[in-house]
Structure 1
Amino acid sequence: MSRPCINYKLFSIRPCTYSQINKAGPLVSRTFFSSAKHTTTGSVKMSPLSPESAKAIARLRAYKPPPSSYGSLPLSRRAAVLILLYADPEGELKTVLTIRAKTLSSFAGHAAFPGGKADTENETAFETARREAAEEIGLPNIGKPLFPPFKVEHLCELPASLARNELVVRPCVAFLHSYNETTGETADPETSLIPRLDAKEVAAVFTARFHDFLKKDIEHAAGKEGDDEDGPGDWYQGSWTTWHESDWRMHNFYIPISEKSITKPRPQTRLKSIQKRIQDVAITKLKERERSGELSRYKVWGMTARILVDAARLAYDEEPEFEHNSHFGDEEIIAKLRRIGRLGAIRRPGDELTRETMRKAAKLS
């Protein structure tokens, strides 16, 4: 029997119109953000998008998140991730994900967005996400030029999510423009940009279709050559558990590995740091598992999967084909935890939310 969705009414979407979409080609308006004040700097053409993708980008651009406690949290509790979207040759949106290298202290080896902890009190969530993306996958930071014709537009921030290690994570959504105004052509990020990035803290960079994170099954989920056709449950599996003292839907997506959508940093033979050597070992082991057939899909799950589902719900204005929680983010429980004295400035090794702590916070009105 299906469990009811939980509605905390944590977000609202500002009504917007799409009168300019698809009347004379692709959407043409955009907003850029500077490294200092995130202000508008002009309008240029976007890369060709499908009608559905153009509307999705417009919804994300228009979205205004609810009030968040993120900015008032101690620095030690703040983190941000980058949801980087781009258009594939068919005009469909895809997103960039990583396999974290074993060099990372938390969640090593897991699929994740580029991102990490804030550095300073006055660093915005977008600045954190972009700085970490520069460090992890080599995407140039705010204010630094990308390889032409690529440009990054900041679209919106989503309600913050709560990690089990008591970090508050702010998702930041951005769009990678790849339309060349001079030639009228669109570059393919999977062949023209991603392989050129200097990924330093991940074992692999891979991509997946954004809209698929609302689907229970997908037809185009072909892995490496010779793989069998997808069967039931090959793309998505989900289950209910208890978290935040309420019913919680766990999402598990299995991304087929294909040569085009996967980029791995090249191991370096010259003298390098111990950290880099460990990363090289992680890359080599990952390749060996893929070649042997032991690993044919990357698993996206946990908070990363939930953020993807919520971001896709917002972008496409539709609900998933599978059961899910209806609220966006964890702003309510974050506020309650602060009221009982959690999420303080001092982070101790091994800090993790217990059921007793969550039960105490959940009782607050």
Structure 2
Amino acid sequence: MPTMQDVAKHAGVALSTVSYAINGTRPISEETRQRIFAAMEELGYRPNVLARGLASKRSRIVALLLPAAKRGLGLTELEFVMSATEVAREHGYHLVLWSTEIRDPRELQQLMQQGLVDGVIVMEIHEQDERIDLLRKIDFPFTMIGRSADNQGINHVDIDFGQTMQVVIDHLASLGHTHIAFLNHAQEEYDAGYGPAVRTQHRFLESIEARGVHGITRFCEAQAEDGYKAVNDLLAIDPNLTAIIVMNDRAIPGILRALADRGWQIPDDFSVVAVVSSARAAEMTNPTITTAEAPAKELGRLGTEMLIKYLEGKKKEFSEVLIPCELVIRESSGPCPKERGQLV
């Protein structure tokens, strides 16, 4: 079994330098650190994480808090996880995923005070979020992928939901659509102050009014059957609808089926645009879905790097980074049908 001495010899560095690279107790150059990790990989050396933690009082483990009990982990969420995991690995950290719902802040406090993780990346942020309040109270290192109502003094990155919604509505309006629906997350999530649901709802209503077009909104559970029912309900309220913006890509199969059951073709008779989704999800349907694609990889990278830099004392000032989604036009959006009356 290879030892640290073997790694040092293979990498051409001192034994102490290998220790610094593994434990992060002293700064070393990136080139040297990568050479040491490459030697560890080639030799199959695996450091004892618990022993390292006892010696350095740091575990070099960070946690990603991504509650997914209700909606599950979809393709977009997995992109966040994969990006954060890769960045942590590149910096010599391990990342653990905590996907269970935290119903009592004491659960979180127990995890933090056991010394198992050095810091946390918090996702699925609510406007008033007990997790954030607790982390501030116990002064535990954390960053957010998302925003709460009060973000002062917190490193965070998030999607620019306002600009994203504006771009999507501009796209549909430029195609002549004047009756547009927005299918948001579930009512329960909106009422609980889930940031993305609140921000997109408000910006949709603002943008519709500014554009002078008709808009209607509805909340929807993350299931195909709910998407099917929601489309039919929306069309019953406004038979002149010609386009729908969907916040939840798990509802899209039901939406497509509801439109197909009416004998409508997409995008000739109706346009569908997804927001905060992924390219992989958009390309799995027929037709492929025009999507405002979430910058999941970039947000996962930035959120993790912010935390690690803070842990290693390299970041003194707090940062806020907002990144809009990128609109990728595929097969599901097209010009407003001229003879809507014949389709209803």
TM range (shorter): under 0.3
Q: Name the one with the larger strand percent.
A: 1
TM score, norm. by length of structure 2: 0.25
Of the two structures, which has the highest relative contact order with CA contacts closer than 8 Å and spacing of 6 or more? 1
Q: Name the one with the larger helix percent.
A: 2
**Structure index of larger Rg:** 2
TM score, norm. by length of structure 1: 0.24
